[in-house]
Amino acid sequence: MGHPCAVLPALRWLVVVLCLLVASGCDALDLSGSEDEPDDATPVFATTFTRIAPQGYIDLSLEVSNPTDRPVTLTGRLVARDAAGDELPGVTVSSAYGIERGQMLLMPGGDVDLVQLEGEGADQVADVTLEDVRQRPEDAAAAEEPIEVTGLGKDGRELTYDGAAIAARVDNPNSVAVRVRVVLLVLAAPKTGVPQQAVEVRDVTTIELAPGASKVVPLDAETTRVLRSRALTDFVSLRPVFAP
């Protein structure tokens, strides 16, 4: 066994090395162990795609979750995939409300957009995913309840079908103020086994509503023209979308 004093030169050398590392600002020595800790700071905005919905619901819906505690807008790209999960490069995917373009305010919990599919292989689409997602937290209060839009006829009565609407009443049941887009959605006539797809989408107006408030919005001439001309052959509907 060597003499205890024999280790002193080695200890002095280790002290010198540590001092040099601190002086140079070198981060090669990390005693915190943080490199092994998982990064839970990045939220995952998961999607759920429904090709053909149950009766009473709209086909080609894309539900996007928002796991954060505040409203956000997203940007990214929509990708069509087959039953095996492989990308279908010949299919172009677009959305009705612009979820992937930052045009839809996504409340905590999430919301639903509708997609349109075009191109070779559109009939093979079994899933749609949102890729390369970037989030932007927005300075808006979180609304817990959906906004309601009701079409109104010439005498101000509520309509069960928006084809004859000349105005729309927008109701905010929330205890916070909201900003809302009213969107005209035209869906193609349904066919057995084929998803009913949006063939025309038109922004009617964007309004702000105080907590618990309602507002009647007159429809412009082009909106009423589209409603009348498409109502007999297609399905038309006035829809609310939370706006940034």
Domain total for the chain?
A: 2
Q: Are residues 120 and 159 in the same domain?
A: no
Residue 204 and residue 226 share a domain: yes
Under 8 Å between Cβ of 77 and 132: yes
* 116 falls within a domain: yes
In contact, 95 and 114? CB cutoff 8 Å: yes
180 within domain boundaries: yes
Of 89, 113, 137, which residue sits at a domain end?
A: 137
Please list the pLDDT of the chain residue by residue as tens digits (244 residues).
Answer: 444 444 334 434 433 433 333 444 444 434 333 343 334 567 999 999 999 999 889 999 999 999 999 999 999 999 999 999 999 999 999 999 999 999 999 999 999 999 999 999 999 999 999 999 999 999 999 999 999 999 999 999 999 999 999 999 999 999 999 999 999 999 998 888 899 999 999 999 999 999 999 999 999 999 999 999 999 999 999 999 999 9
Q: What's the domain range around 91?
A: 47-137
Structural contact between residues 236 and 184, judged by C-beta atoms closer than 8 angstroms: yes
- Candidates 154, 148, 159, 166; CA nearest to 215 is 148
Give per-residue pLDDT as tens, 131-182: 999 999 999 999 999 999 999 999 999 999 999 999 999 999 999 999 999 9
Assigned domain for 219 exists: yes
Mark whether 131 and 168 lie in a shared domain. Answer: no
Residues 96 and 72 in one domain: yes
User: Is the separation of the CB atoms in 115 and 128 below 8 Å?
Assistant: yes
User: Which of these three, 86, 112, 137, is where a domain ends?
Assistant: 137
Q: Are 196 and 187 in contact (CB under 8 A)?
A: yes
3-state secondary structure of 239: strand
DSSP assigned state of 158: B
